[in-house]
Amino acid sequence: VHVPFCASRCDYCAFTTFTDRHHLASSYVDACLRDYEARREAWPARPGTIFIAGALRASSPDET
């Protein structure tokens, strides 16, 4: 799961990122959780790990 809210854009990053939309971070996380809930019954097995990448914590000092 990619979290596209970063404090600044890294020169090497090829992912979609936003440095000016931190106000959308909470809604994005909620949407990811709803998507997981909607799809988990269709998976043949429960995932052992879900990898979350991005800079949500680094870019949201009010939520740390």
Indicate if the pLDDT at residue 56 is higher than 80.
no
Q: State residue 55's pLDDT score.
A: 65
- DSSP letters, 1-64, are -EE-B-SS--TT--S--BSS-GGGHHHHHHHHHHHHHHHGGGSSS--S----EE-HHHH-GGG-
**Residue 6 lies inside a defined structural domain of this protein:** no
Indicate if the pLDDT at residue 58 is higher than 70.
no
- The count of structural domains within the chain is 1
Structure-derived torsion over alpha carbons of residues 8, 32, 57, 23, reported in degrees to the nearest 10 = 60
Domain holding 39, by residue range, is 11-63
**Residue 2 lies inside a defined structural domain of this protein:** no
**Residue 5 lies inside a defined structural domain of this protein:** no
**Residue 3 lies inside a defined structural domain of this protein:** no
Task: Using pLDDT thresholds of 50, 70 and 90, give the confidence band for residue 64.
Answer: very low
Question: What is the per-residue pLDDT across 3-53, written as a single tens digit (0 to 9) for each?
Answer: 888 888 888 888 888 889 889 988 998 999 999 899 888 888 888 888 888
